[in-house]
C-alpha cells in the first residue's frame, strides 16, 4: 500500500461512516465534553497525522481550529483521552469496520467492478508498554498488526475486504495465510 497514501484510503472510508460527532451514545450518558464519537474521530485523526502520544494529541487539538470546530472541542487533556480510550467498546469499533466493509462492497458491486484485484497489506500500530502489555513483543516494544485484504476496483478506489488482527511478532506473510480462498470474509 506504499503507492496509495493511507490518508486517502482512511479518508474515503471515514466519509462512509454513519458518524455524527455530536451524537451521544448510551455509554455517553454522563459525559460532558468528550463523547465516544468525538474520541473516535480524534483518534482516527491522530493515526492519520501520526501523533504519537496523548500529549501530542492535546497540543495538536489546541493548534487546529478546524478540528476544534468539527468536534466542538477546544481542548482536552491526555488523561481524559486515556480514560475515554479505555471506555470505548471494541464491539463498536468492530461494527464500524464491518459497516464500512459492507458499504464499500455494495458500492463496488453496483459499479460491477468488485474483485478486480486483491492486495494484502500489514500495518503496525505501536502501543505504549503500560497499555500494551497484552501485546508485548519485547522489553522495549508492544503493539498490534492489522493484516488487511484490500480490493482495488479502480486506480483511485480501494476498500478493505477482510482483516486479521495479530500481535507484532506475527510475520507479514504468516497473517494472511488464512485467506486461501478469495470468497472468505474474515470480519
Which neighbouring-strand residues pair with 50? none
Expressed in angstroms, the distance from the first to the final Cα of the chain is 20
User: 149-180 pLDDT, tens per residue?
Assistant: 777 777 777 777 777 778 787 777 676 666 65
Helices (DSSP H) in the chain: which residue ranges?
A: 6-14, 36-48, 54-63, 65-71, 78-87, 90-110
pLDDT of 127 over the 60 cut: yes
Identify whether the C-beta of residue 148 lies closer than 8 Å to the C-beta of residue 124. no
pLDDT tens-place string over residues 137-149: 788 878 888 787 7
Least confident of 25-39, 102-116, 151-165: 102-116
Mean per-residue pLDDT over the chain, rounded = 74
| CB 123 within 8 Å of CB 146 | yes
Q: Where are the domains of the chain?
A: 9-86, 90-178
Q: Within a 13 Å sphere around the CA of 22, how many CA atoms are in the beta-carbon half?
A: 4
* Percent of the chain residues past pLDDT 70, beyond the cut: 70
pTM for the whole structure: 0.59
Higher-confidence residue: 61 or 31?
Answer: 61
**Which three cell numbers, joined as nine digits, stand for 21?**
460527532
- Which pLDDT does position 58 carry in this prediction? 92
The three cell numbers of residue 41 are 474521530
Q: How far apart are CA 7 and CA 45, in angstroms?
A: 9
Q: What is the pLDDT of residue 94?
A: 81
**Of 61 and 182, which is predicted with more confidence?**
61
Contact 108, 151 (CB under 8 A): yes
Structure confidence at residue 30 (pLDDT): 76
Considering the chain, what percentage of its residues have pLDDT values greater than 90? 7
> Which cell is 88 given?
470505548
Q: Please report the pLDDT score of residue 185 as a whole number.
A: 46
Amino acid at each position: 500500500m506504499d503507492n496509495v497514501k493511507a490518508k486517502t484510503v482512511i479518508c474515503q472510508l471515514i466519509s462512509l461512516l454513519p458518524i455524527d460527532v455530536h451524537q451521544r451514545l448510551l455509554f455517553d450518558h454522563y459525559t460532558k465534553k468528550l463523547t465516544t464519537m468525538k474520541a473516535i474521530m480524534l483518534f482516527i485523526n491522530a493515526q492519520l497525522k501520526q501523533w504519537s502520544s496523548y500529549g501530542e494529541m492535546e497540543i495538536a487539538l489546541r493548534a487546529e481550529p478546524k478540528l476544534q470546530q468539527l468536534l466542538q472541542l477546544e481542548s482536552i487533556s491526555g488523561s481524559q483521552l486515556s480514560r475515554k480510550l479505555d471506555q470505548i467498546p471494541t464491539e463498536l469499533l468492530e461494527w464500524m469496520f464491518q459497516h464500512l466493509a459492507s458499504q464499500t462492497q455494495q458500492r463496488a458491486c453496483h459499479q460491477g467492478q468488485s474483485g478486480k484485484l486483491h492486495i494484502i497489506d500489514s500495518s503496525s500500530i505501536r502501543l505504549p508498554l503500560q497499555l500494551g502489555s497484552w501485546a508485548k513483543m519485547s522489553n522495549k516494544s508492544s503493539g498490534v498488526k492489522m493484516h488487511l485484504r484490500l480490493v482495488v476496483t479502480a486506480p483511485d478506489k480501494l476498500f478493505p475486504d477482510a482483516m486479521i488482527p495479530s500481535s507484532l511478532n506475527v510475520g507479514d506473510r504468516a497473517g494472511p495465510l488464512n485467506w486461501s480462498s478469495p470468497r472468505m470474509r474474515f470480519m
